[in-house]
Amino acid sequence: MEYKVIPGGICAAKGFAAAGVHAGFRANPNKLDLALIKAEVRCAAAGVYTTNKVYGAPIKVDRAHLVDGYAQAILVNSGNANTCAANGVDLANESCRLAAKQLGVDEQDVLPSSTGVIGQPMNIDPFARGIPQAARLLEASPSGSLKAAMAIMTTDTYPKEYAVEFELGGKTCHLGAIGKGSGMIAPNMATMLAFYTTDAAVSPALLQKALREVVPTTYNQMSVDLDTSTNDTLLIMASGLAGNPLIEEENADYQVFKGALAAVAEHMCALHASDGEGATHLITCTVTHAPTHQVARAVDKSVVCSNLF
């Protein structure tokens, strides 16, 4: 399968714009700390999250908002994680309402996410300041993706984004991503946020299935320091604006789309692991001759998670 690497990150796909601003979650005014991603149309959407028993309030809201399989915007703050706060769910819901009002979308179609220090007091003020500013600055361009990627960083040393181009049903499609995370990268996903956009037409059910099939062999196989976290989230929105026949069964087009998703995820994982806190090397383990994928993944993980090795 051919996938062409292209610029643009999450703005490479048709119908998406993004922005990053300083809202005040961080003390340094030169640090962007609020990202906004908006689709022109209501999109099929899916997500996977941390397996930690303690998880951030935005994940609870995301799960509720994705019950119908659709979304139109993603709102992310960094610097102060909405986790273990008494008002966490109310805060996440209120931030969605503010974003929905600014963007002219339904608040149920806004997906919140949060990263940063856990357990610190949090209020709505930075959201109220930053969301209108971000909404005004939305760009359907590479710079919009880059600013959003910068706004979600915590201990990362550089912004992470990637995009590919491929064909489905004779139509040119695009899939892009941004992500953050350079520590607490294990056992599954880690203190990692990732946001994907595509203009391929994929049903919500098949989008969720593709995500669940790709994550175990990509994000769940990387490791930096053997710790897990509370806010790990991967969200994807599919606008369908490429005009390909809707993927609603596991046919050849589904396999091509899943391959593109895996290609982007594998590259993003390499970026996360290579930027690990204190890392000086990126180690990739390839397992051959394993009797099953499950055995291969177990052997792979035992190598990359070995501090002695």
- How do residues 197-237 score in pLDDT, each as one tens digit? 999 999 999 999 999 999 988 988 887 766 667 788 999 99
Q: Is 140 helix (H, G, I), strand (E, B) or coil?
A: coil
Q: Which residue has the tokens 């969605």?
A: 96
Minimum mean pLDDT among 118-127, 218-227, 266-275: which range? Answer: 218-227
CA separation for the pair 160, 279 (Å, rounded): 16
Mean pLDDT within 133-157 = 96
pLDDT attached to residue 182: 66
- The 10s digit of each residue's pLDDT in 160-186 is 999 999 999 999 999 999 999 865 555
Determine phi and psi for 273, rounding to 5 degrees. -65, -40
pLDDT attached to residue 306: 84
Predicted TM-score of the model (pTM): 0.93
Among 208, 229, 210, which residue's Cα sits nearest to residue 218?
210
Sign of dihedral through CA atoms 24, 137, 153, 218? positive
Residue 191 annotated among the catalytic residues of the structure: yes
Domains of the chain, start order? 4-278 (3.60.70.12)
Residue 29 has, within 13 A of its CA and on its CB side, a CA count of: 0
Cis peptide before 187 (omega within 30 of 0): yes
Question: What token pair was written down for 65?
Answer: 């908002």
pLDDT attached to residue 183: 59
Q: Which of 50, 191, 230, 233 is catalytic?
A: 191
- The 10s digit of each residue's pLDDT in 53-85 is 888 999 999 999 999 999 999 999 999 999 888
Say if CB 97 and CB 127 are below 8 A apart: no
